[in-house]
Amino acid sequence: MDTKQALENLRQFLITHDLPKTDFALFGVHCPYCGKSDRIRELEPPEDLNDKIDPENIKTYTTLWKLFNSSKTGLGVCKFCLNPLELILEENRARTLYR
């Protein structure tokens, strides 16, 4: 699977499973797609969702999580435009996952 397809799979997974489950906005972090700064949410790591999503779907999420998450950044989503994002929390910013 190429990166663009994997990114679309992640986006669809987030929409289908209404992720993140924790509704906590990261204010001041701007979406690189739509520019909103009050709609960015950090995604939970797969192990935090074991009791909220069935095991087969957790495997899918874990695969996508590992593909896009690096040790220096996190993953998030803009709940306005529904695009997955790379979060650089120490710099209080987000950027696109597909470059």
To the nearest whole percent, how much of the chain has pLDDT over 70?
A: 96
Q: How confident is the model at residue 67 (pLDDT cuts 50, 70, 90)?
A: very high
Quote the pTM value: 0.90
Q: How confident is the model at residue 48 (pLDDT cuts 50, 70, 90)?
A: very high
3-state secondary structure 28-96: CCCCCCCCCCCCEEECCCHHHHCCCCCHHHHHHHHHHHHHHCCCCCEEEEECCCCCEEEEEHHHCEEEE
| Least trusted range by pLDDT, from 19-23, 25-29, 35-39, 68-72 | 68-72
Over residues 40-57, the mean pLDDT reads: 94
CB-based contacts of 87, cutoff 8 Å, min separation 6: 26, 29, 40, 42, 73, 74, 75, 76, 93, 94
